Structure 1
Amino acid sequence: MMNAVGRDIPDELLVNGKEVYQGKYYMDGKYIQKAAPRTRRYEKPQESKLLASIADALKACGARDGMTFSFHHHLRSGDYVANMVMKAAIEELGLKDLTIAATSLGDAHDPIADYIEQGKVIGIQTSGIRGRIGEVVSAGKLKTPAIIRSHGGRPRAIEAGEVHIDIAFVAAPTSDCMGNCRGIGGKSNCGSLGYAMTDARYADHVVVVTDCLVDFPNYPASVEAIDVDAVVVVDSIGDPKKIASAAARISQNPRDLMMAENVAKVIASTPYFK
């Protein structure tokens, strides 16, 4: 079927309610369906959600073949957590037919390309694919079509129930024993954890992975304990020195610098800036 910009989209992709792009105002006034989050109830008192390893957290969350795991990429090229989780799931627990629903995938996640070639990872839903993962996907080695959405389209799809996350893994620079976590106060600070917020609210299970355990309560929290099932402490969640890379690199382009300066002036001129 031909979309609004003249690109022919294969009919076999237009399933489960998917439509071709029909113009930027096509959805104006239309109703959309939002899915209710599915959460796990805990009624017995808990003093801690700490578990010894990622493998233990996977087991506690009932990890099994065919599940979808999500990750955020606030640590960008310095992220370690996605690789750690997939290694534990596939090499330690022997899981297969997994889907990765990450906010973005880059050079830091090159080892995951091996799992795609082995057929252990069969699906990817993300907002960006770079590095070896991009190469193997481009070569047709992923068993199902990769789905790439904008950074805004991804949380919309999660809220609408188009993307169902079985376990969300949140790499957190700091967390307390109950899972209140945020992006500052540790050795691997990344700032905002905004990418992970929708995942934490809608995933069936949420595992916080941190390298800096702090006293309870860790507030203000980006992801709150009420949404968290388990907390795992590791040696390092990533290298913050590699955050300023790729799309987030420090620019010397005069146009980019001018835009940044104008944005800073607008922010400084608002009554909210103090």
Structure 2
Amino acid sequence: MINKRVDESLLKTIKGYEERKAYNSPFAYQPEGSINEDAESLKGTVKRTKVLDSLEEAIKRSGLKDGMTISFHHHFRNGDKVLPMVLDKLAEMGFKNLRVEASSFTKAHEGIVKHIKAGVVNRLGSSGLRGDLAKEISNGMLGDYPAVIRSHGGRARAIVEGDIKIDVAFLGASSSDCMGNANGVKGKSLCGSLGYAKVDAAHADKVVIITDTLVDYPNSPMSIPQTQVDYVVVVDEIGDPNGIMSGATRFTSNPKELLMAKKVLDVMLASGYFNDGFSMQTGSGGASLAVTRFIREELIKKNIKCSFGLGGITKAFVDLLEEGLMGQLFDTQCFDLAAVESIGRNEKHVEVSADFYANPFNASPAVNKLDFVILSALEVDKDFNVNVISGSDGVIREASGGHSDTAA
């Protein structure tokens, strides 16, 4: 049967198989446009690869049209160069009315403003907005279309359930091989976990991996596997790793924030949950990150351990893991370069998708196993209603992130 073509008329005689395609030859049927043949480099033989010559070629092959939805991740935070690069190319190619769904928008993405004004982009979805982009959106720049802000778990749910239909995902990866096996722990532009990108890759109609380091096949670890990737584009630079730890992920020496951190620890100790095997997550504010330092001292004093740490991972959590004070890390996003280095070498530092992390509609998101979560806030009232999105002037300035997911 391997070498012999089946007479298609025979299928018509088999109940339930009347409309099936008959065997033709090996590789006769291929996914549309997923294989690029390059015979030149192997002296006349055929080399199967998904690597294309340019971003423009990948856009053309993806079938992207005006009005469609494209997606990005923000693992490079303020150092991201993929989203600006792609939108500039789409503007150059004349695209209009695109919907941009990103896991978050940072100050690196303020160039979107010009693309909204030019009509290239007319809808936005994200976990948060910052900087000039946030100010413009707050002032009504999008007109008839509101910017939709979802939590990290809410975004994952919307993608998995189909509320967000991604036509083309443009995903930066610090390394990829010719078939699209990609990760964020090898190469020159490291970002660590690709937890947000994993959801996009699994559900987008077309996936374009953009990398500045092409490695030999097969690349591992496979944060994004070749089975989900349509095209690979190699560029000069996808991001600045030094932009990962900035702003909200700073370590504080502010006396006010340190005092808040100590009071948080007092509450944790009084809660009845601070026992051997408890689990925890910290948010990205200076005070919440400082809590981890004080927790370490208590773990040592009480001779107990934390079972796992979850969420955006920092050096403080990595240190607990390596000191044997924490059993495992579940990482959706690396908040500093120490976390990036750790996830690339420590098997107890595990990369997880935003779906695994916090999608409330899956069988069991990891947030459901949290004992403690320490979160920062812009405003809290006396009834414990919390605002993490806007300042007291009503202008958007931050992100929902995993705040409501973990609080629930």
TM class by shorter chain equals 0.7 to 0.9
Give the whole-Å Cα distance in 2 for the aligned partners of 1:44 and 1:258: 47
**Of 137-146 and 234-243, the range deviating more from structure 2:** 137-146
Q: Which amino acid in structure 2 is aligned with residue 90 of structure 1?
A: A
**Of 154-163 and 259-268, the range deviating more from structure 2:** 259-268
Paired residue for 2:41? none
**Of 139-148 and 42-51, the range deviating more from structure 2:** 42-51
Q: Does 1:237 align with 2:238?
A: yes
TM-score by length of 1: 0.80
Q: Does 1:103 align with 2:108?
A: no
Larger radius of gyration, structure 1 or 2?
Answer: 2
- The size of the alignment, in residue pairs, is 234
Paired residue for 1:4? none
TM-score by length of 2: 0.54
Paired residue for 1:77? 78
| Shift in CA distance, 130/44, structure 1 to aligned 2, threshold 3 Å | closer
Paired residue for 1:131? 131
Paired residue for 2:31? 41
Give the whole-Å Cα distance in 1 for the aligned partners of 2:69 and 2:35: 29
1:119-268 equivalences under 5 Å are 119-143=119-143, 144-252=145-253, 253-254=257-258, 255=261, 256-261=288-293, 262=295, 266=306, 267=308, 268=324
Structure 1: state its 5+ residue gaps. Answer: 1-39
Quote the offset at 1:257 in angstroms. 4.6
**Of 154-163 and 45-54, the range deviating more from structure 2:** 45-54
| 1:198-225 C-alpha deviation (Å, 9 max, x unpaired) | 1001000000000111111111211011
**More strand per residue: 1 or 2?**
2
| 1:43-78 C-alpha deviation (Å, 9 max, x unpaired) | 987611011111111001011100111000000000
Are the counterparts in 2 of residues 122 and 142 from structure 1 also a CA contact under 8 Å? Answer: yes
Quote the offset at 1:271 in angstroms. 5.2
| 1:88-129 C-alpha deviation (Å, 9 max, x unpaired) | 1112x1000001000011110111111112222110010011
RMSD, aligned α-carbons: 2.1
Give the whole-Å Cα distance in 1 for the aligned partners of 2:225 and 2:99: 25
Q: SS of the counterpart of 2:94? A: coil
| Shift in CA distance, 49/141, structure 1 to aligned 2, threshold 3 Å | same
Q: Does 1:118 align with 2:99?
A: no
Structure 2: state its 5+ residue gaps. Answer: 1-29, 37-47, 262-287, 300-304, 309-323, 329-347, 350-408
Q: Which amino acid in structure 1 is aligned with residue 139 of structure 2?
A: A
Give the whole-Å Cα distance in 2 for the aligned partners of 1:167 and 1:251: 39
**Of 194-203 and 263-272, the range deviating more from structure 2:** 263-272
Give the whole-Å Cα distance in 2 for the aligned partners of 1:233 and 1:60: 16
